[in-house]
């Protein structure tokens, strides 16, 4: 090439190259600079696509083929070139056919568009980001709709998990909550889960749960984008097939109240924006669960208040009844001068009502201790027949108005229980029988060994007016008003039967009631038989 032409081509800013038969025969100074070369000689003789990025070479081939078909064609193409130091630049090239030293040649001019490209890429990424944010918003709006919906907390949670999976394209999501004993229970799940194979309350130790366990313990999100087969998480059956997992703690107030685990079968699935979307969803779930929790404790408190009101009404009634007589008879004694017989009976009445009041206070203390779970019963061999005989003897003397009928009984085994407490329970039953039987009525007391149940059963039957099934149902409840449809009034079993039931149940026994509408009520208690050494041995030999 003549020097003047060379000088002109070197002086212009565009990259100019000429190739003959697909090999470079001329490059200008700008070309050398763009390609990061030291001198033009490094390019001359090389293939015309020598500096093009491997995966972009086909673009040039297409160009060449097109130009061979139509010689007037001027083609623009964008591709990437690689410099000797490995850096990549984007260029836009225009090729036209020319001649070089008489031979057909290709003149290519290139412009460096790296900066423009980067800006375009940035714009495209921003557009993607915007699209993702719209997706996020859609997901959050849909979740907000579910959260304010009428369903149960568990069902709403499950629907949230479904939306979550759909929006991010994951394969499964599980929400777990702690059971308070070092394990996490599955609360809700969506996607490919083993929920059908397992009961809903499938529980796993916190330490066995991989990302869930870590997220719960550490209180921050844990991402494991590449589960290795046979790795830690794969020991957990419910994670089978998942190659990437995220565990997110769910906060309710200040506490971690649950953990959300999302899984994908695709390694490297979870990106940062995705984790922040999950985080936002996790916060919504936290609000849902926390509100449900608050609502539950509020309802619990309200029902406790109602029970307390009932308790106060019953307690007040129970205390006022003996006090009425204590006050009334004292006043009669103080104000007048009754004859000796009347005076004696009034003193006796005051005495009996004082005892009754003491008993009621004891019962209230027992009931309160039972409610607080701090009552203890002894467990030693006891002869129920001895206790029954002692009480019946006492009552026969105190209540000559009633006749006690003791059914004949065979030899009875001892039971395992608390002798004082059994005395208390039986006194309560016999006291009720006396109270509810008409004067001159029979009170039937029977004892028998129920071999099939392994209990000794004491039954006390009165000849009272009987009880409706509804009354029988609420008899053993402490402060329940029960069904008030008929009389709209507290029925007055007091606390005695509640205490009695609690005590026999603490001894492993039961209390039952059977009543005929025509009249007569039978209360029975069954207490487990104590195993004598001889008996145990016999069972062993058998």
Partner 1 sequence: MSISVLVADDERLILSMVSAMLQRDGRFEIATASNGQEAIDACEASPPELLLLNGMMPGLDGFAVCQMLKSSPRTSGITIIMMSALTQKSFVEKGLAAGADHYLPKPFTRPTLIGAIDALLPQLSLLAK
Q: Which is nearer to partner 1, 11 or 401 (CB)?
A: 401
Q: Which is nearer to partner 1, 75 or 490 (CB)?
A: 490
Q: Which is nearer to partner 1, 359 or 508 (CB)?
A: 359
Taking contact as CB under 8 A, which single stretch among the options 139-147, 162-170, 190-198, 342-350 is the one that binds partner 1? 342-350
Q: Which helix (H) or strand (E) holds 278?
A: helix 272-335
The secondary structure of residue 514, as a DSSP letter, is: E
CA atoms of 61 and 235, how far apart (whole Å): 53
Q: Considering only residues 37, 332, 375, 377, which one is a binding residue for partner 1 as defined by CB under 8 A?
A: 332
Distance of CA 326 to the CA centre of its chain: 55
Taking contact as CB under 8 A, which single stretch among the options 3-11, 152-160, 489-497, 510-518 is the one that binds partner 1? 489-497
Residue 313 as a binder of partner 1 (CB under 8 A): the answer is: yes
The token duo for 361 is 């206070």
Residue 361 as a binder of partner 1 (CB under 8 A): the answer is: no
Please state, as a whole number, how many other Cβ atoms lie within 10 Å of the Cβ of residue 491.
Answer: 19
Taking contact as CB under 8 A, which single stretch among the options 141-149, 160-168, 326-334, 405-413 is the one that binds partner 1? 326-334
Quick check: helix, strand or coil at residue 438? coil
- Give DSSP secondary structure letters for 234-274: GGSGGGTT-SEEEEEEEEETTEEEEEEEEEESSTT---HHH
Token pair 């309560």 is at which residue?
Answer: 428
Q: Considering only residues 107, 323, 375, 513, which one is a binding residue for partner 1 as defined by CB under 8 A?
A: 323
Q: Which is nearer to partner 1, 178 or 519 (CB)?
A: 519
- Give DSSP secondary structure letters for 317-351: HHHHHHHHHHHHHHHHHHHS---HHHHHHHHHHHH
CB of 331 to partner 1, least distance (A): 6
Residue 516 as a binder of partner 1 (CB under 8 A): the answer is: no
C-alpha count within 13 angstroms, C-beta hemisphere, residue 391: 25
Taking contact as CB under 8 A, which single stretch among the options 127-135, 174-182, 318-326, 414-422 is the one that binds partner 1? 318-326
Looking at residues 448 to 487 of the shown chain, list those that interact with partner 1 (rule: CB under 8 A). 464-465, 487
Report yes or no: 85 and 36 within 8 Å, Cβ to Cβ.
yes
Residue 354 as a binder of partner 1 (CB under 8 A): the answer is: no
The β-bridge partners of 203 are 185
CA atoms of 363 and 5, how far apart (whole Å): 119
CB of 489 to partner 1, least distance (A): 5
Q: Considering only residues 42, 94, 352, 369, which one is a binding residue for partner 1 as defined by CB under 8 A?
A: 352
- H helical segments located in 336-415: 340-372, 384-398
Residue 320 as a binder of partner 1 (CB under 8 A): the answer is: yes
Q: What share of the chain is helix, strand, coil (3-state, %, to 5)?
A: 50, 25, 30
Report yes or no: 201 and 186 within 8 Å, Cβ to Cβ.
yes
Residue 441 as a binder of partner 1 (CB under 8 A): the answer is: no
Looking at residues 379 to 408 of the shown chain, list those that interact with partner 1 (rule: CB under 8 A). none
Residue 316 as a binder of partner 1 (CB under 8 A): the answer is: yes
Q: Considering only residues 436, 454, 514, 530, which one is a binding residue for partner 1 as defined by CB under 8 A?
A: 436
Q: Which is nearer to partner 1, 247 or 464 (CB)?
A: 464
Residue 353 as a binder of partner 1 (CB under 8 A): the answer is: yes
For CA atoms 186, 189, 195, 199, give the dihedral sign.
positive
CB of 318 to partner 1, least distance (A): 8
CB of 321 to partner 1, least distance (A): 5
CA atoms of 282 and 285, how far apart (whole Å): 5
Q: Considering only residues 57, 116, 317, 351, which one is a binding residue for partner 1 as defined by CB under 8 A?
A: 317
Sites of contact with partner 1 (CB under 8 A): 313, 316-318, 320-321, 323-329, 331-332, 335-336, 338, 342, 345-346, 349, 352-353, 436, 464-465, 487-492
């Amino acid at each position: 090439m003549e020097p003047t032409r060379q000088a002109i081509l070197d002086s212009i800013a565009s990259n100019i190259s000429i190739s003959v038969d697909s090999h470079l025969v001329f490059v200008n100074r700008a070309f050398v600079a763009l390609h990061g070369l030291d001198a033009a000689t490094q390019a001359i003789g090389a293939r015309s696509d020598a500096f093009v990025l491997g995966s972009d070479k086909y673009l040039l081939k297409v160009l060449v083929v097109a130009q061979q078909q139509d010689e007037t064609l001027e083609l623009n193409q964008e591709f990437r070139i690689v410099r000797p130091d490995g850096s990549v630049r984007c260029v836009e090239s225009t090729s036209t056919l020319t001649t070089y030293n008489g031979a057909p040649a290709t003149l290519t001019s290139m412009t460096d568009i790296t900066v423009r490209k980067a800006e375009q890429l940035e714009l495209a990424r921003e557009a993607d980001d915007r699209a993702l944010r719209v997706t996020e918003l859609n997901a959050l709006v849909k979740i907000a709709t579910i959260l304010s919906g009428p369903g149960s907390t568990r069902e709403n949670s499950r629907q949230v998990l479904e939306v979550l999976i759909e929006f991010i394209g994951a394969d499964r999501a599980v929400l777990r909550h702690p059971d308070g004993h070092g394990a996490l229970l599955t609360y809700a799940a969506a996607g490919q889960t083993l929920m059908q194979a397992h009961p809903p309350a499938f529980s796993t130790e916190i330490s066995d749960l991989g990302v869930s366990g870590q997220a719960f313990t550490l209180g921050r999100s844990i991402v494991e984008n590449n589960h290795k087969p046979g790795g830690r998480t794969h020991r957990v059956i419910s994670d089978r097939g998942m190659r990437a997992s995220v565990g997110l703690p769910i906060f309710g107030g200040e506490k971690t109240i649950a953990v959300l685990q999302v899984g994908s079968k695709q390694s490297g699935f979870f990106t940062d924006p995705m984790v922040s979307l999950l985080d936002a969803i996790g916060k919504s779930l936290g609000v849902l669960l926390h509100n449900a929790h608050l609502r539950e404790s509020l309802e619990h408190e309200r029902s406790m208040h109602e029970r307390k009101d009932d308790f106060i009404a019953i307690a007040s009634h129970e205390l006022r009844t003996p006090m009425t007589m204590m006050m009334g008879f004292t006043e009669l004694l103080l104000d007048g001068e009754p004859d000796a017989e009347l005076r004696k009976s009034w003193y006796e009445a005051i005495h009996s009502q004082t005892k009754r009041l003491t008993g009621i206070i004891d019962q209230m203390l027992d009931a309160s201790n039972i409610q607080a779970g701090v009552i203890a019963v002894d467990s030693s061999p006891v002869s129920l027949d001895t206790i029954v005989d002692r009480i019946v003897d006492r009552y026969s003397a105190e209540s000559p108005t009633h006749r006690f009928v003791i059914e004949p009984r065979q030899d009875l085994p001892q039971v395992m229980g608390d002798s004082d407490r059994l005395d208390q329970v039986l006194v309560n039953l016999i006291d009720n029988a006396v109270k509810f039987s008409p004067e001159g009525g029979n009170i039937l007391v029977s004892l028998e060994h129920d071999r099939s149940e392994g209990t000794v059963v004491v039954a006390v039957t009165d000849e009272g007016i009987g009880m409706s099934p509804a009354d029988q149902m609420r008899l053993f409840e402490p402060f329940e008003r029960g069904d008030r449809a008929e009389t709209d009034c507290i029925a007055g079993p007091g606390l005695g039967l509640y205490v009695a039931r609690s005590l026999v149940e603490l001894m492993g026994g039961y209390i039952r009631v059977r009543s005929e509408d025509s009249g007569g009520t039978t209360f029975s208690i069954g207490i487990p038989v104590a195993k004598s050494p001889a008996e145990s041995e016999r069972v062993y030999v058998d």
